[in-house]
C-alpha cells in the first residue's frame, strides 16, 4: 500500500480543524467583519430586483403609466451599481483574507519543517511534504475565499427568498417547496458515491505523480538501459487508471446535475401553471407571478451552490487535517529549557559509552568510546553500514544518543543551544548540495557577512579561484538548482570552500572526496593540510589514500571501535584496517593501470 492510500482525501466538518483555522483568521477580524457586512448587503440587494419588477408591471405597465417606468429604470440602475460595488469589495476582501491566512500557514509550515529533526525526513517522502504546501493549502484557500462566503450568502439568500415567496403567495411557495424532498434524496444518494469516486481519482493521480517523479529523477538510468518504451507502457497503464477514475466521477456528475436541473424545472413549471390559473381567475396579479417566477429561479441557485460548497468543505477539512498533522509533528531534537550558549570552542570531543538506534532497540552504535583532542584529525574507516555517518550525525546533534553522552570542550551537546553548537561544526557531504543562486551566495551560506576578499582568499587557498573566474560572471555566476551548471568535482570544491569559509572549530568530511577524481583530489590535499590545522576534524572516506595522513585512524564495525591508531601502526598490526587498506590499494592500482 502506498502512503497516498493512508491519507484522508475527504472528510466531514471537523470542529477541531475549524477552531485552528479560526486562529489564523483572528488577525483579520476587522476585514472579516467587513466581509460579513458586505455579504449581508449583497444578499439583501439581490432580493430587491424581483420586487422592483413586480412594481413595474402592476403599478405602471398594467395601468399604462409609462412615465413611472423612468423611476423603475433608475431604481434598477441603482441596484445594479450598488450590487457591483459591493460584490467587488466582497470578493477582494475575502481573497485578501484567504491569501493572508495561506501566507501564515505556509510560513508556519516552512518554519516547522526547518526545525524538524532528521527522523521525519528519513520516513516521509519529499513529494508528500510539498503537497502540504501546494494542494492542501490551496484547498483551504478555496474554502476561505469562496466556500465560507458562499455558505453565508447562499444560506441568507435561500432564507430570504423563502420568506418573500411565502409572503407573496403561500400556496405557490408550498408548491415550489414540494420538490425539496426530491432534491434532498438526490443529494444524499449521490454524495457518498461521488465522494468515493473522487477519493479514488485523487489516489490514482497521486500514484501517477509518484511514478512520474520517480522516472524524471531517474531519467539517466532510464535512457542508459533503454527503458523508454517499457516505462511508457507502464505510464499508460497508470494514466489509464486516472482516466477511468475521472470518467467515473464525470459519469456521476453527468447524471446528478441534469437530475437537479430537471427537478428545478419541474418546480418552475408547476409554479407557472398554478400561478397562471391564479392570474386568470384574478386572485393573483401578473406582476406578482413574474416576481415569483424570478424568485423560483433564484431559489434553486443557492441549493445547487450549497451542494458544491459541501465538496469544497470536505476537501478543505481533509487538507487541513494533513496540514495540522504536519504542524503537530513533534520535533524530536529539542533544546532544554536551561540550554546555554556554547562559547567559542577549542575542539576537544569525547564520545562516552554512546548507544544509538534509529528505531527501537536496533542499535547501530554500541558502547562507542572515543577521546579526541582539539586540532586532531580523526579518520573513521569501515565497511558501508558500519555506523560512521551515524557517529558524526550524533556529534552535530542531528540525532540524540539513546545512552551515554557526547562532550565538546566538556559541554554535553544536549545542554547547549543547537545554533551555538552547529555554527561551530561544518559538514561537507559526498553529494554536495548547492542552492539556486550565484557561486558567491552559496559560498556565503554559512557566513552571510563574509567579504569578497575573504571569499576569494579561501577559494585561492583551495585552488578553485581559477575555475570560478573562467566563468563570464565569475563569482556571480548562477549555478542553478543543485549546482547543475558545475561539474561534480567543482560542486564538491565549492562545498569545501563554503564549509571552510565559516571557520568552524570542528570540520566533518563525510565521504567528501568520493565524488572527486584522483587529479582533483591531489589538488585539494595540500590546501586541506593547511586548512585543517587548528581544527578538530572527522574524515569519513572509502578511499583509504585520503585518510593516510590522519592523526588517528578509527576502524568502526557494527557501531563499535575494533581498532585505532596511526596508518603505520595499523598496517603493522595487520588487523581489519590492514585488510581494508590492501584491498583498496589494489583496487586503485588496477584503476590506475587501466
Q: 421 vs 134, which has greater pLDDT?
A: 421
Q: What are the contacts of 228-237 at 24+ separation with CB within 8 A?
A: 235/208, 235/211
pLDDT, tens digit, for every residue of 299-319?
Answer: 888 887 777 777 788 778 888
Residue range 223-231: mean pLDDT, rounded: 84
* 1 CB-near residues (< 8 Å, 6+ apart): none
Q: What order of strands is seen across the sheet that includes strand 363-372?
A: 363-372, 349-357, 403-408, 411-412
Q: What are the pLDDT digits (tens) for 134-183? A: 888 888 888 887 777 778 788 888 888 899 989 988 998 898 888 888 88
Given a cut of 80, whether residue 191 has pLDDT beyond it is no
Residue range 510-548, pLDDT digits in tens? 866 555 566 666 666 665 666 677 789 998 876 666 678
pLDDT, one tens digit per residue, over 467-525 is 889 888 999 988 877 777 787 778 888 888 888 888 889 998 886 655 556 666 666 66
**pLDDT level of residue 207 (50, 70, 90 thresholds):** confident
Calculate the average pLDDT of the chain: 84
Please tell me the distance from the alpha carbon of residue 198 to that of residue 320, in angstroms, as a whole number.
17
Rounded to an integer, what distance in angstroms lies between the CA atom of residue 486 and that of residue 501? 20
As a whole number of Å, the end-to-end CA separation of the chain is 47
pLDDT: is 571 or 528 the higher one?
A: 571
Mean pLDDT over 193-218 rounds to 79
**pLDDT band at 1; cut points 50, 70, 90:** very low
Which of 9-23, 417-431, 460-474 is the least confident region? 9-23
Global pTM?
Answer: 0.76
**Contacts (Cβ under 8 Å, ≥6 apart) of 28:** 97, 100, 101
Structure-block grid coordinates of residue 140: 483551504
pLDDT of 248 higher than 70 = yes
Q: pLDDT value at position 547?
A: 79
Task: Dump pLDDT digits (tens) for 76-91.
Answer: 899 889 989 998 998 8
Phi, psi for 88 (deg, rounded to 5) = -60, -50
d(CA 513, CA 489): 9
| 101-128 pLDDT tens trace | 999 999 999 999 988 888 888 887 777 7
Lowest mean pLDDT: which of 108-117, 119-128, 221-230, 567-576? 119-128
CA dihedral 254, 260, 262, 267 (to 10 degrees): -170
Is the pLDDT confidence value at 11 over 70?
Answer: no
Q: What is 356-373 written as a DSSP string?
A: EESSTT-EEEEEEEEEE-
Amino acid at each position: 500500500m502506498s502512503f497516498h492510500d493512508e491519507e484522508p482525501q475527504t472528510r466531514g466538518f471537523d470542529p477541531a480543524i475549524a477552531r485552528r483555522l479560526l486562529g489564523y483568521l483572528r488577525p483579520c477580524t476587522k476585514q472579516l467583519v467587513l466581509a460579513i457586512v458586505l455579504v449581508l448587503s449583497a444578499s439583501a440587494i439581490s432580493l430587491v430586483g424581483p420586487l422592483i419588477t413586480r412594481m413595474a408591471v402592476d403599478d405602471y405597465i398594467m395601468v399604462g403609466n409609462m412615465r413611472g417606468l423612468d423611476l423603475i429604470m433608475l431604481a434598477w440602475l441603482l441596484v445594479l451599481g450598488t450590487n457591483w460595488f459591493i460584490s467587488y469589495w466582497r470578493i477582494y476582501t475575502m481573497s485578501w483574507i484567504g491569501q493572508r491566512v495561506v501566507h501564515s500557514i505556509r510560513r508556519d509550515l516552512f518554519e516547522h519543517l526547518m526545525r524538524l529533526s532528521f527522523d521525519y525526513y528519513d520516513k516521509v517522502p519529499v513529494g508528500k511534504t510539498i503537497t502540504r504546501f501546494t494542494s492542501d493549502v490551496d484547498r483551504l484557500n478555496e474554502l476561505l475565499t469562496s466556500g465560507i462566503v458562499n455558505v453565508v450568502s447562499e444560506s441568507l439568500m435561500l432564507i430570504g427568498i423563502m420568506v418573500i415567496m411565502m409572503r407573496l403567495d403561500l400556496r405557490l411557495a408550498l408548491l415550489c417547496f414540494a420538490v425539496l424532498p426530491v432534491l434532498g434524496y438526490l443529494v444524499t444518494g449521490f454524495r457518498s458515491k461521488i465522494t468515493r469516486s473522487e477519493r479514488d481519482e485523487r489516489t490514482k493521480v497521486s500514484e501517477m505523480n509518484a511514478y512520474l517523479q520517480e522516472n524524471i529523477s531517474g531519467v539517466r538510468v532510464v535512457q542508459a538501459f533503454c527503458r523508454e518504451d517499457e516505462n511508457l507502457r507502464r505510464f499508460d497503464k497508470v494514466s489509464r487508471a486516472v482516466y477511468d477514475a475521472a470518467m467515473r466521477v464525470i459519469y456521476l456528475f453527468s447524471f446528478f446535475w441534469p437530475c437537479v436541473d430537471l427537478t428545478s424545472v419541474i418546480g418552475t413549471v408547476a409554479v407557472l401553471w398554478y400561478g397562471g390559473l391564479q392570474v386568470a381567475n384574478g386572485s393573483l396579479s401578473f406582476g406578482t407571478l413574474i416576481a415569483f417566477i424570478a424568485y423560483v429561479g433564484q431559489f434553486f441557485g443557492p441549493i445547487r451552490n450549497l451542494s458544491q460548497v459541501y465538496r469544497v468543505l470536505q476537501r478543505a477539512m481533509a487538507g487541513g487535517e494533513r496540514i495540522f498533522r504536519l504542524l503537530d509533528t513533534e520535533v524530536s531534537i529539542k533544546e532544554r529549557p536551561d540550554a546555554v550558549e556554547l562559547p567559542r570552542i577549542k575542539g576537544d570531543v569525547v564520545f562516552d559509552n554512546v548507544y544509538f538506534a534509529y528505531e527501537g532497540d536496533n542499535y547501530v552504535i554500541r558502547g562507542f568510546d572515543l577521546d579526541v583532542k582539539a586540532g586532531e584529525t580523526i579518520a573513521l574507516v569501515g565497511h558501508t553500514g558500519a555506523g560512521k555517518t551515524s557517529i558524526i550525525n550524533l556529534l552535530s546533534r542531528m540525532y540524540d544518543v539513546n545512552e551515554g553522552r557526547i562532550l565538546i570542550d566538556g559541554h554535553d551537546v544536549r545542554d547547549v543551544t543547537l545554533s551555538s553548537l552547529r555554527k561551530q561544526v561544518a559538514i561537507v557531504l559526498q553529494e554536495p548540495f548547492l542552492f539556486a543562486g550565484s557561486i558567491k551566495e552559496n559560498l556565503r551560506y554559512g557566513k552571510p557577512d563574509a567579504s569578497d576578499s575573504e571569499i576569494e582568499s579561501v577559494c585561492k587557498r583551495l585552488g578553485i579561484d581559477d575555475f570560478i573566474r573562467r566563468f563570464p560572471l565569475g563569482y556571480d555566476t548562477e549555478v542553478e538548482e543543485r549546482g547543475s551548471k558545475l561539474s561534480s568535482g567543482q560542486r564538491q570544491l565549492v562545498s569545501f570552500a563554503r564549509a571552510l569559509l565559516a571557520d568552524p572549530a570542528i570540520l566533518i568530511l563525510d565521504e567528501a572526496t568520493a565524488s572527486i577524481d584522483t587529479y582533483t583530489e591531489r589538488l585539494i590535499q595540500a590546501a586541506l593540510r593547511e586548512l585543517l590545522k587548528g581544527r578538530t576534524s572527522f574524515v569519513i572516506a572509502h578511499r583509504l589514500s585520503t585518510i593516510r595522513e590522519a592523526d588517528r585512524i578509527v576502524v568502526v564495525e557494527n557501531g563499535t571501535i575494533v581498532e585505532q591508531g596511526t596508518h603505520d601502526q595499523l598496517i603493522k598490526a595487520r588487523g581489519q584496517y590492514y585488510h581494508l587498506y590492501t584491498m583498496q590499494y589494489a583496487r586503485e592500482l588496477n584503476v590506475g593501470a587501466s
